[in-house]
Amino acid sequence: MVRRSGLLSFGNGMGRSGVMKSLRMIVMGAGVLGIALFALTGCEEKTSSTTSSTAPKPDDDKTMLDPSLGRAIAASSASAAKGPRTAPTAEDGPPPSGVFTLERAEQTHAKGKPLHIEMGTTGAEPRIILTPTTDAVPKTLGFTVATMMGQRRSLPTVDMTFGLKVEKPKKKAGDAGVDLLPMPVTSKLTKIVLSAEQPGQIPPEVAQEVAKMNGSQVNWSFVPTGGISTVSIERSEKARPELEHNLVAVVETLASASLPAPEEAVGVGAAWVARSRDVYGGLDLISYRMIRVIKIDGDRITYGVESRQYASNPDMVKPGLPEGGKLVQFECTASGEFEIVRGQRLAEKGKITHTMKIGLQPPGAQPNQMMPLVLQSTVAYPIGG
């Protein structure tokens, strides 16, 4: 369950001990031997110089999304900066490195700004409204999260169950002058266990470490027209920082499972982009999610989601990465499919694969030295779905 050391190379001046020490810190952290062994067994000892030419690339054909998403992102960026009637130019799209300057990020989608829908096509007749019409929310949510780190390393696959506490609005939708209102949700991880299927043999100590995630929280607010905002994650104090990525995977699943929808009626073939600023757990991202209506069967809607996310600034810090590093390349993509009942706030089921590629320049490193990290999480919703 390991990736060759080419995944994590520091260039000249970093010997075996330096690479392995940093690898342990990033993969599973230092201090708990069981998890470190699970992630590192069989790691090749050779190191090599890594430059920007071998670091994660935004145009990697293994993660390339539908070209129409790229065009939609450029159009959405142009409308944010210049107004909705201005045609996009080559300079309007996000930076090729995947890392905005903070100033440009604010121009594209400022912190605190509501989720924005950029309509593409309304699809075929018959068309229906997809925005929520109810405050009903499940009391529990379950997710199966499987995370690969490169091609041959992985985190333990886990089943996670969250208990939800919903702050219902005092006023109700349908009251005179009242539309559906934002609805804050606090969700607490009440159960986390190793899944029945694992990528390899797991030491007994791993289950104990995974269990320390219990008590972690994922909090958000439902947007009245669909989608979520004001997200926060709180890892249990006893849990290892590297396991926080499971919470990140849950957030990204919720962002798609909550179906950010246009106010217009749509039919099969409809497509739109939801742009948002997502700030949580050390991450500060500008997100573009393209939603396509695949099937409408009575009140059941099947839709697909493809997304790209960009770092808002080079100083963004993800838990588990070395402090003081500079983010020089970032690529975050997702692709999934969900089924929702018309009017509901959350899909009943779905599956999504979320890939994050990070190119980090460690503190004191030379300009051509870069530490690549790849995380790919597949999330089934609900558990075992």
Question: What contacts 288, CB < 8 A, 6 or more positions away?
Answer: 69, 72, 73, 76, 273, 274, 275, 307, 308, 309
CB-count burial class (<10 Å; 0-12, 13-18, 19+) for 99: buried
Q: Are 276 and 303 in contact (CB under 8 A)?
A: no
Domain coordinates of the chain in residue numbers?
5-381
The tens digit of pLDDT for each residue in 235-285 reads: 999 999 889 999 999 999 999 999 999 999 999 999 999 999 999 988 999
Tell me how far apart the alpha carbons of residues 90 and 197 are, in angstroms, rounded to a whole number: 45
pLDDT bracket for residue 383 (50, 70, 90): confident
Q: Are 143 and 349 in contact (CB under 8 A)?
A: no
Instruction: State the pLDDT at residue 41.
Output: 36
pLDDT bracket for residue 153 (50, 70, 90): confident
Nearest to 303 by CA among 349, 251, 250: 349
pLDDT at 1 over 70: no
Q: Are 227 and 305 in contact (CB under 8 A)?
A: no
The tens digit of pLDDT for each residue in 356-374 reads: 999 988 888 887 888 888 9
The tens digit of pLDDT for each residue in 187-207 reads: 999 999 999 999 888 888 899
More confident residue, 52 or 232: 232
Instruction: State the pLDDT at residue 322.
Output: 74
Task: Evaluate if pTM is beyond 0.85.
Answer: no
Radius of gyration of the chain (CA): 21
Phi, psi of 81 (to 5 degrees): -90, -30
